[in-house]
Every structure is written in structure tokens, then in C-alpha cells.
Amino acid sequence: MNVLVAGGTGFIGSVLCAELADRGHEVTALSRTPDGDSLPDDVNVAIGDVGAYDSIAGTVAAHDAVVNLVALSPLFQPSGDKSHESVHLEGTRNLVRAAEEGDTQRFVQMSALSAHPHAETAYLRAKGRAEGVVKESSLEWTIVRPSVVFGDGGEFVEFTKTLTTPHVTALPDGGRTRFQPIWVGDLAPMLADAVEDDAHVGETYEIGGPEVLSLADVTELAYEAEGKSVTILPIPSALANVGLSAVGPVPFVPFGPDQARSLEIDNTVAENDISAFGVEDADLTTLSAHLGLEGNHSAFHEPGS
């Protein structure tokens, strides 16, 4: 298959491009500034901005399948004229329109847990409305909604360290918000299956990793991997929101009310759709193992507990 990965030079995109190329597909990664350094030699690159239809239409139209992995991070407040609506909603509209007007049949859309047109943050609202655009299209679509994704080059663990300090740190409500992190190396084959397999057409999948971790758990793991301990002090979330929104977790880090709010929204799945890809929890990599801490952390919550 001839596959275009929009956002293919990013954290998840570069792993997916390698997976698709390994499976024998002709793969092109599209982004605004593709340098190809993070990609295997047999992956092509194309320049395009999903916000500018004319810059992507010709490239998209020539592909059998498109995977939309374009991102504007929800962890930091957007700067300049960037917005979640322009990148995630308008960008999806442009990709879908180009695909419908071209030869593309299949469209895999990366969304997020809790995405909804009336969700509480701009990121989740844009993702929710973008899902509607994809579902209303004439394309063979699949929507994937993962929890947070970790791996080399991912920003989740690094962001946790940006938010905190080693030894003693304060977190809203003691960092009780729950995540179900999934390793990028486990997620990419599922995305590749969604590209290849007719069985996934018209499906929306919620994907989580093998364990549920609180923000406090993730903070402890991140510092333990560096040989540091951390004691977490709870601060009321209302107070934290005011403080984080006003100054950011550390000076010069752009953090606003949406970012504070997103730290209060649980990011776990009710039913884990990994089974649709023939995968079970025992097959998946834990965050502890990725950080080199395997064996030390058997006490974390099972999914659903």
C-alpha cells in the first residue's frame, strides 16, 4: 500500500513509518519541516502544512491511505497564531477533503481519550470535532484514542519532571489523576494494523497500556530511574490551578488554565480495545520496564481498579 503519515516525523509518526516500511509499504512522512533524520532511509518525506490545503492536496491525493498524526501538544499553552482548532480540526478537515478529492480510500485518525465537541479543554474539543469530520467523510476510517504514549523522544515523562522537582514536590490533589500509559512500540503496530485490515474500518478504539498509574506514581518512577527519591505534597487543585495558570509550573514554561484542567481529567479506558488487535495486557511494555525499573513495581493498580 502507498501510505502517507501526516506528522510522520514526530514521536509516534517516526515509529509508525518504520513499522509500515518494515511491512513492505511505500511510506511518506509529511510535515512542515521534515528532515528525515528520525526516519529509515526507505521512508520518503514531503513538505506540507495541514493548515494550508494547497500545500498538501497533491501529496495526499496520490496515496491509498492516510494516517493523521499531526500534533499541537496539549501539555503547553499554544503560542502565536497556533490553536488546537486550527491544527487538529482545520488540519483534519483539509486532510479529509484532499483524501476525498484524490485516490485515497483509507483514513486513520489519531484522537485522544475524552475527546468530545463539548469537552473541557480546547485540545479535547478540537479532537472531538475532528472525529466528527472523519466519521462524516466517505473514506474508510478508523479512529484511535490512546491514553498518554511513552517512549524515547516522548514528552510525557519529561513533562512530569518539568512539573515537579526531585526530593520534595507539590502536586494538585497529591497527583491522584490516573493515566494508562502505552509504549509507542506497542501502539505503532496497532496503527499499522488499522491501515491494513478491513476489519478495523468504521471502528473507534480506546487504547491503554497494561497498568493504571497516578501522576504521583509517574513522578516517583521518573525520579527513581535517575536514582532520586521524591516526596509528594498535596495542594488543593483549586489553589494549584490559580498558581499554575498564573506563573506556569516553572518560570517561562507556557502553562494555562487548559493545561491545569487537563491534569485533573483521568486518562484511562473503561474497556481496553487492544484485544481488537489480538493483544493482551501481558504483551505490553510497562513504564517501569521502559525506565529500567522492572521488578520493583508490582504494586501499581490493575486497569479498571
Task: Provide the binding-site residues for ligand NAP, judged by CB under 6 A.
Answer: 7, 9-13, 31-33, 48-51, 69-71, 73, 87, 91, 110, 112, 146, 148-149, 154, 156
Local structure of residue 78 (DSSP, 8 states): -
In the complex, minimum distance from the CB of residue 51 to ligand NAP, in angstroms, rounded to a whole number: 5
> Of 73 and 296, which has the nearer Cβ to ligand NAP?
73
> Of 10 and 249, which has the nearer Cβ to ligand NAP?
10
Grid cell locating 121:
479543554
Q: Do 149 and 110 meet the contact criterion of CB atoms below 8 Å apart?
A: no
> Of 83 and 170, which has the nearer Cβ to ligand NAP?
83
In the complex, minimum distance from the CB of residue 246 to ligand NAP, in angstroms, rounded to a whole number: 26
- Radius of gyration (Cα) for the chain, nearest Å? 19
Q: Which single residue brings its beta carbon nearest to ligand NAP?
A: 10
> Of 10 and 189, which has the nearer Cβ to ligand NAP?
10
In the complex, minimum distance from the CB of residue 152 to ligand NAP, in angstroms, rounded to a whole number: 12
Q: How far apart are CA 107 and CA 112, in angstroms?
A: 16
| Cα angle value 116/118/119 (rounded, 5°) | 65
In the complex, minimum distance from the CB of residue 213 to ligand NAP, in angstroms, rounded to a whole number: 13
Q: How many CA atoms within 13 Å lie on the side-chain side of 147? A: 30
In the complex, minimum distance from the CB of residue 87 to ligand NAP, in angstroms, rounded to a whole number: 5
Helix (H, G, I), strand (E, B) or coil at 212: strand
> Of 155 and 243, which has the nearer Cβ to ligand NAP?
155
CB atoms within 10 A of CB 58: 12
Q: To the nearest 10°, report the CA torsion of 119, 110, 57, 78.
A: 50
In the complex, minimum distance from the CB of residue 195 to ligand NAP, in angstroms, rounded to a whole number: 15
> Of 132 and 247, which has the nearer Cβ to ligand NAP?
132
Q: How far apart are CA 163 and CA 93, in angstroms?
A: 34
Query: Closest by alpha carbon to 204, among 98, 122, 132, 117?
Result: 132
